[in-house]
Every structure is written in C-alpha cells, then in structure tokens.
Amino acid sequence: MAIHKLDLGEFDEIDYHLIAIHTPLEDYRLAFFINQRLPINLGKSKNEIQINVKEGETKFSRFYFYDKERAISWNLIQNKNEVLQQKNDNSQNLFSNIKMEVSTKVYLLPEFKKVDYFLKIENLEETIEVTQIQSLLNTIDSISTAYTVETNKIKSKNNLIF
C-alpha cells in the first residue's frame, strides 16, 4: 500500500497584502472614497466575518470586489466591533433584578487595536505596487494614515481566512 504525505507548508503561504487604515469614517463612506481613488468597485458583502470570543459572538463588516481581468480580490474589513452581553445583578439591594447590558470591544486582529480598517489585497500582481496603493489611500482627506502591515508578524492570521 502506498503512503501519501501532505505538505502543510503550502497552506501557510501568505499570498496577500494588508494595508492598515486609521480613519473616523463609517465603513460605507470609506468604501465610497476608496472606490473614487482606486480603480475598484467595493460593495457590501453579505458574508460578514464572524468571530467567536469568550465574551460572545460578533460580526465584522466586509466590503468586497473581485477584479476578473487581473484575478485580484479586494476586501475592506472592519477591525473594531462590540459584543453586547446581558448580565443579571444577583445582589439583594434596591436595584436587584435589573438586567444590565455590558459592551465589550472586540478586534479582528487584536495586536492592531488602534487600526480601524484593513484593506486585504489577494493575488496582487507585481506590476501594481502596494506602496502606490498606500499613497493613493493617504490622499483621502478623512484617512489619518494608511500603511502596509508585515503579514509575517500577525499573530491571529486565522481571522483573515474567509
């Protein structure tokens, strides 16, 4: 009987670029401004990114565009969201039997807590430079800064698999 071995190293290969974006804009407005600057057409995706954490479950908004000519996938992903929890106060006092709603901040990539959004570009050709995309993003007035993230330094890479 023949033995077949699978090399899992191929699955760990990173074939995307990640640009961190700092902005106070809502996701739909940011997507609109990016569509104006870059030759893409980001649209709201029905497939939001679902993350389960100890506080509960949350979904991060996602805007998506697939360039058929170049076979490039563009994802604008929210990094910050909140988880709402219902807690009961079991103490015996004036305010007993009150249900409290506790909000906890959750991050798609917890090691980048100050980043508001990520632009994930998959299968980017060598002809298009990430630095050129980054500089175009920095020309948008409402973006404080945009910079590339070294993908080998990301600890929670599994959150970017969708």
- Mean pLDDT computed over 20-32: 93
Confidence of residue 123 (pLDDT cuts 50, 70, 90): confident
| Helix, strand, coil % in the chain, rounded to nearest 5 | 20, 40, 45
Please indicate whether residue 100 or residue 104 has the higher confidence score (pLDDT). 104
> What's the CA gap between 60 and 80, in Å, rounded?
8
DSSP string, 15-43: -EEEEEEE--S-HHHHHHHHHHHSS---E
Give the helix/strand (H/E) hosting 134: helix 130-137
Confidence of residue 13 (pLDDT cuts 50, 70, 90): low
Based on C-alpha coordinates, what's the Rg of the chain? 20
pLDDT at position 88 over 70? no
Which of these, 15, 144, 135, 23, lies nearest to 78 by C-alpha position?
Answer: 23
Q: 16 pairs with which residues across the strands?
A: 122
Indicate the SS3 state at residue 123: coil
DSSP 96: T
Q: What's the pLDDT at 117? A: 95
pTM, rounded to two decimals: 0.79
Q: What is the pLDDT of residues 42-65, one digit of tens each?
A: 999 888 888 877 777 888 899 999
Cβ(72)–Cβ(106) under 8 Å?
no
The token pair that represents 66 in the structure block: 């697939």
